[in-house]
Amino acid sequence: MAKAVGLLVALFALWLALSGYFKPLLLTLGVLSCLFTVFLAFRMKLLDDEAVPIQLRPSLLLYWGWLGGEIFKSAVAVCRIILSRDMPVSQNLVAVDCPPKTEMGHVIFANSITLTPGTITVEAGNGKFLVQSLTDEGARPEGFAEMGRRVAHIEGR
Protein backbone atom coordinates (compact mmCIF):
# COMPACT_ATOMS: atom_id res chain seq x y z
CA MET A 1 0.00 0.00 0.00
CA ALA A 2 2.87 2.39 0.79
CA LYS A 3 4.30 1.84 -2.69
CA ALA A 4 0.92 2.67 -4.24
CA VAL A 5 0.66 5.90 -2.25
CA GLY A 6 4.26 6.81 -3.11
CA LEU A 7 3.61 6.16 -6.80
CA LEU A 8 0.39 8.19 -6.67
CA VAL A 9 2.14 11.16 -5.07
CA ALA A 10 5.03 10.97 -7.54
CA LEU A 11 2.71 10.68 -10.56
CA PHE A 12 0.54 13.58 -9.43
CA ALA A 13 3.57 15.76 -8.68
CA LEU A 14 4.92 15.00 -12.15
CA TRP A 15 1.53 15.67 -13.73
CA LEU A 16 1.21 18.96 -11.87
CA ALA A 17 4.75 20.06 -12.76
CA LEU A 18 4.32 19.23 -16.44
CA SER A 19 0.78 20.57 -16.87
CA GLY A 20 0.89 23.65 -14.66
CA TYR A 21 -2.91 23.70 -14.32
CA PHE A 22 -4.42 24.67 -10.97
CA LYS A 23 -8.12 24.86 -11.86
CA PRO A 24 -10.33 22.60 -9.72
CA LEU A 25 -11.75 20.60 -12.65
CA LEU A 26 -8.31 19.93 -14.15
CA LEU A 27 -6.82 19.09 -10.75
CA THR A 28 -9.63 16.60 -10.20
CA LEU A 29 -9.08 15.03 -13.61
CA GLY A 30 -5.33 14.86 -12.91
CA VAL A 31 -5.90 13.09 -9.59
CA LEU A 32 -8.37 10.69 -11.19
CA SER A 33 -5.98 9.84 -14.03
CA CYS A 34 -3.17 9.20 -11.52
CA LEU A 35 -5.50 7.06 -9.38
CA PHE A 36 -6.52 5.07 -12.46
CA THR A 37 -2.87 4.55 -13.41
CA VAL A 38 -2.00 3.31 -9.91
CA PHE A 39 -5.08 1.06 -9.93
CA LEU A 40 -3.97 -0.49 -13.23
CA ALA A 41 -0.43 -0.97 -11.92
CA PHE A 42 -1.84 -2.62 -8.78
CA ARG A 43 -4.13 -4.95 -10.79
CA MET A 44 -1.22 -5.91 -13.05
CA LYS A 45 0.93 -6.61 -9.96
CA LEU A 46 3.54 -4.06 -11.05
CA LEU A 47 3.97 -2.37 -7.67
CA ASP A 48 7.19 -4.08 -6.66
CA ASP A 49 10.71 -2.88 -5.89
CA GLU A 50 11.53 -2.60 -9.58
CA ALA A 51 8.55 -0.44 -10.51
CA VAL A 52 8.57 1.74 -7.39
CA PRO A 53 12.14 1.32 -6.16
CA ILE A 54 12.56 4.30 -3.89
CA GLN A 55 9.81 5.63 -1.72
CA LEU A 56 9.63 9.36 -1.13
CA ARG A 57 11.88 9.86 1.87
CA PRO A 58 13.56 12.91 3.31
CA SER A 59 16.94 11.33 2.45
CA LEU A 60 16.08 11.48 -1.26
CA LEU A 61 15.16 15.15 -1.06
CA LEU A 62 18.33 15.88 0.92
CA TYR A 63 20.35 14.02 -1.71
CA TRP A 64 18.83 16.10 -4.51
CA GLY A 65 19.77 19.27 -2.62
CA TRP A 66 23.33 18.05 -2.05
CA LEU A 67 23.64 16.94 -5.69
CA GLY A 68 22.42 20.35 -6.88
CA GLY A 69 25.19 21.98 -4.86
CA GLU A 70 27.78 19.59 -6.30
CA ILE A 71 26.55 20.26 -9.84
CA PHE A 72 26.84 24.01 -9.23
CA LYS A 73 30.38 23.72 -7.82
CA SER A 74 31.46 21.51 -10.72
CA ALA A 75 29.89 23.86 -13.26
CA VAL A 76 31.87 26.76 -11.80
CA ALA A 77 35.09 24.71 -11.93
CA VAL A 78 34.48 23.70 -15.56
CA CYS A 79 33.71 27.34 -16.48
CA ARG A 80 37.03 28.39 -14.92
CA ILE A 81 38.84 25.79 -17.00
CA ILE A 82 37.11 26.86 -20.20
CA LEU A 83 37.73 30.57 -19.59
CA SER A 84 41.38 30.23 -18.57
CA ARG A 85 44.01 31.01 -21.19
CA ASP A 86 45.98 27.77 -20.90
CA MET A 87 42.94 25.44 -20.44
CA PRO A 88 44.41 23.02 -17.86
CA VAL A 89 42.65 19.88 -19.09
CA SER A 90 44.02 16.47 -18.14
CA GLN A 91 41.45 13.88 -19.09
CA ASN A 92 41.42 10.68 -17.07
CA LEU A 93 39.61 7.38 -17.11
CA VAL A 94 39.21 6.05 -13.59
CA ALA A 95 37.55 2.94 -12.19
CA VAL A 96 35.12 3.86 -9.42
CA ASP A 97 33.70 1.37 -6.91
CA CYS A 98 29.92 1.32 -6.79
CA PRO A 99 28.68 1.10 -3.17
CA PRO A 100 24.94 0.90 -3.98
CA LYS A 101 23.66 -2.69 -4.25
CA THR A 102 20.36 -2.31 -6.13
CA GLU A 103 19.96 -1.61 -9.83
CA MET A 104 18.18 1.64 -9.03
CA GLY A 105 21.10 2.65 -6.79
CA HIS A 106 23.50 1.96 -9.66
CA VAL A 107 21.37 4.08 -12.00
CA ILE A 108 21.17 6.98 -9.54
CA PHE A 109 24.91 6.82 -8.88
CA ALA A 110 25.87 6.64 -12.58
CA ASN A 111 23.47 9.43 -13.54
CA SER A 112 24.67 11.60 -10.66
CA ILE A 113 28.24 11.24 -11.89
CA THR A 114 27.18 12.11 -15.44
CA LEU A 115 25.06 15.07 -14.31
CA THR A 116 28.05 16.57 -12.55
CA PRO A 117 29.89 18.74 -15.12
CA GLY A 118 33.34 17.46 -15.99
CA THR A 119 32.59 13.76 -15.41
CA ILE A 120 30.83 11.10 -17.47
CA THR A 121 30.06 7.49 -16.61
CA VAL A 122 31.36 5.59 -19.64
CA GLU A 123 30.84 1.97 -18.65
CA ALA A 124 29.22 0.01 -15.83
CA GLY A 125 29.80 -3.56 -14.76
CA ASN A 126 31.07 -5.88 -12.03
CA GLY A 127 30.38 -3.38 -9.24
CA LYS A 128 32.56 -0.70 -10.85
CA PHE A 129 32.02 2.27 -13.13
CA LEU A 130 34.49 3.57 -15.67
CA VAL A 131 34.37 7.35 -15.38
CA GLN A 132 35.97 9.94 -17.64
CA SER A 133 37.04 13.08 -15.86
CA LEU A 134 38.05 16.40 -17.37
CA THR A 135 40.74 17.10 -14.76
CA ASP A 136 42.85 15.32 -12.15
CA GLU A 137 40.85 17.16 -9.47
CA GLY A 138 37.59 15.67 -10.77
CA ALA A 139 39.03 12.14 -10.72
CA ARG A 140 39.72 12.08 -6.96
CA PRO A 141 38.19 9.03 -5.31
CA GLU A 142 36.94 11.02 -2.27
CA GLY A 143 34.23 12.78 -4.30
CA PHE A 144 32.95 9.56 -5.80
CA ALA A 145 33.07 7.80 -2.42
CA GLU A 146 30.95 10.55 -0.83
CA MET A 147 28.41 10.38 -3.65
CA GLY A 148 28.29 6.58 -3.44
CA ARG A 149 27.82 6.71 0.33
CA ARG A 150 24.90 9.12 -0.05
CA VAL A 151 23.24 6.99 -2.75
CA ALA A 152 23.64 3.89 -0.55
CA HIS A 153 21.94 5.85 2.26
CA ILE A 154 18.98 6.56 -0.04
CA GLU A 155 18.64 2.82 -0.61
CA GLY A 156 18.13 2.46 3.12
CA ARG A 157 21.42 0.79 3.92
Q: How much is the mean pLDDT over the chain?
A: 88
Residue 50: pLDDT band with limits 50, 70, 90? low
Instruction: Encode pLDDT of 129-142 as tens digits.
Output: 999 999 888 888 88
**Does the residue 136 lie in any domain?**
yes
Range of the domain at 79: 58-154
Give the pLDDT confidence score for residue 157 in this predicted structure.
Answer: 60
Instruction: Encode pLDDT of 57-84 as tens digits.
Output: 678 889 999 999 999 999 999 999 999 8
Same domain as 118, residue 84: yes
**Does the residue 51 lie in any domain?**
no
Instruction: Encode pLDDT of 90-115 as tens digits.
Output: 888 999 999 988 888 898 999 999 99
Does pTM top 0.85 for this prediction?
no
Cα separation, 96 vs 128, whole angstroms:
5
The C-alpha angle with vertex 41 and arms to 12 and 6, in degrees rounded to 5, equals: 40
10 pLDDT exceeds 90?
no
**Does the residue 13 lie in any domain?**
yes
**Does the residue 52 lie in any domain?**
no
Residue 145: pLDDT band with limits 50, 70, 90? very high
Same domain as 82, residue 144: yes
